């Protein structure tokens, strides 16, 4: 069972429905104990970084997610869920994140339209379990105004060019994050979720 973490931010229902369509056992939950007991965790989200961290902390879900990662459970962060994996965001002033990965979240501020909304290519820099069977240069659907800036370049597994190149897929081991929305990205987006489901099933 995959726990889809419900902390009151955004797109978790559409993620859950996409998992259901692919036959991947999943449950939307606000219960920290269920997050820790699950075989894998998905941290989705759309909205403000600070509000998200406040909601996670108030419910104890922040520590549950950290303990799940420490226990070796596969985790997938989607959009805001990816950004929360990092140490800090500059959105509305500096706000601490989960600190699972080193680095910061920064605003897209180089003269392009924000939010970055629509289909864009993702070019893979290395092979990963999440992108298995997906060609480099495939298109995925984005909706965001902030991007991650990892302190460790080795975390970056895929990039997108939107006036400037930024990370679209990051991770290491069993913890991964994607800036795009797989649940809105047609067949290849579902393939991302399938691959994560297979990663969970092997654990």
Residues tagged active-site? 79, 181, 183
- How many C-alpha atoms does 96 have within 13 Å on its Cβ side? 6
């Amino acid at each position: 069972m995959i726990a889809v973490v419900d902390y009151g931010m955004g797109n978790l229902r559409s993620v859950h429905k996409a998992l259901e369509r692919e036959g991947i056992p999943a449950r939307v939950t606000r219960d920290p104990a269920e997050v820790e007991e699950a075989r894998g965790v998905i941290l989705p989200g759309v909205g403000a970084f600070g509000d998200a961290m406040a909601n996670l902390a108030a419910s104890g879900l922040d520590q549950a997610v950290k303990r799940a990662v420490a226990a070796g459970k596969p985790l997938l962060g989607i959009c805001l869920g990816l950004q929360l994996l990092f140490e800090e965001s500059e959105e509305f002033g500096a706000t601490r994140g989960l600190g699972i990965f080193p680095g910061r979240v920064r605003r897209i501020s180089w003269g392009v339209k924000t939010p970055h909304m629509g289909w864009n290519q993702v070019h893979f820099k290395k092979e990963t379990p999440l992108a298995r069977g997906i060609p480099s240069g495939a298109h995925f659907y984005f909706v965001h105004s902030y991007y991650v800036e990892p302190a460790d370049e080795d975390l970056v597994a895929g990039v997108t060019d939107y006036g400037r190149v930024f990370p679209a897929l990051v991770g290491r081991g069993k913890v991964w994050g994607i800036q795009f929305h797989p649940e809105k990205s047609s067949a290849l987006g579902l393939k991302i979720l399938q691959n994560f489901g297979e990663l969970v099933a092997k654990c």
